[in-house]
Amino acid sequence: MFADVKTFSALGAYGCGVIAALTAQNTRQVNGIHEVPPAFLRLQLDTLFDDVRIDAVKIGMLASAELVRVVADALQRHRPTFVVLDPVMVAKSGDRLLRADAVAALRAELLPLATVVTPNLPEAGDLLGRTVSDEVEDMRAAAAALQALGAKHVLVKGGHGTGTTVTDVLYDGLEAILLSAPRVATRNTHGTGCTLSSAIAALLPQRPAVVDAVRDARDYLLGAIRASGELDVGSGHGPLHHFHEVWRRRRAVTGEAA
C-alpha cells in the first residue's frame, strides 16, 4: 500500500487507502499476513465512498474469497468510474499471498468489474489454469482469454520473461497493442506490479484513453526502476524510486548533489 500511495502522489492524484491485510515483510521475505475481518473491510470501503469522490479504484492483495466478495459488492454498489485490478498472488520473494480459495472468487467476481486487469505471467497462468510464457502469441492468447472473462482491458506483463526486452500486451477485445522497452538490469524491483497498477489508476482520469494511461504509467515505472540505484534500502529486492522526478527537480532548484 505504501508503494501505491507514493505512486498516486508522484502522479498528481490524492490517494486514499483501505487496508485488506497487514504483512510483515522486508526486501527479502514475507514473514506473516494478518487479514482484516471482512466486516471491517466493508466498513472502511463504505465510510470512504460516503465522503470522498473516488475517481479510480486500484485493487491489490485480497487474501481470501470472503475479502474478494466484500470488495466486489462495494464496487457494484458504489460504481466508481475506473477499476484497476492487480491480481497479487505471489510476492517478489516467492511467498504465496493469495489463498487457493480466493482465485476462483477473484476470477468470477472481480474480473468482470475491472476497467484494466494487470497480471504478470505467473498470475495470468494462475487465473487461466495453465502456464503462460513470454512468447508474444501466448501472451496475446492469455490476454484474450482473460478479457473474455469480463475485464474491459487486460495488460499481460512480460517482466517475468528472460529476454533483454520486456514486452507487455494490452488487449481490449478488438486490438492487441504491444508495449516494449529494454529490460533494466537491477535487483531493485520490489513493488513493480503495485506501482504500475497504481500509476494506471492515477492516470486513467487524467488521460483521454486507457492506452494513453497505460503508456504513461509504464514510462513512469521505467523511470522509477532506472533511478532505484539512488536508494539504499534493504539487502534483497530493493524498492523503486517513486519520487525520482520530484527529487531531481528539488536538486535542480537547491543545487544539491545527487
Tell me if 240 sits within 8 A of 224, measured CB to CB. Answer: yes
Tell me if 103 sits within 8 A of 127, measured CB to CB. Answer: yes
| Annotation marks residue 32 as catalytic | no
Q: Which amino acid is present at 183?
A: R
| Annotation marks residue 193 as catalytic | yes
* Marked catalytic residue, from 157, 158, 223, 238: 157
Closest of 144, 20, 176, 178 to residue 88, by C-alpha? 20
* Marked catalytic residue, from 191, 195, 223, 238: 191
| Annotation marks residue 12 as catalytic | no
Determine how β-strand 56-59 pairs with β-strand 82-85: parallel
Sign of CA dihedral 113, 116, 118, 119: positive
| Annotation marks residue 195 as catalytic | no
* Marked catalytic residue, from 60, 159, 193, 223: 193
* Marked catalytic residue, from 7, 167, 192, 195: 192
> In this structure, what DSSP letter does residue 163 have?
S
Percent of the chain as helix, strand, coil, to the nearest 5:
45, 15, 35
| Annotation marks residue 189 as catalytic | yes
| Annotation marks residue 164 as catalytic | no
* Marked catalytic residue, from 115, 158, 159, 194: 194
* Marked catalytic residue, from 23, 27, 186, 189: 189
Q: Mind telling me the catalytic residues?
A: 157, 189, 191-194
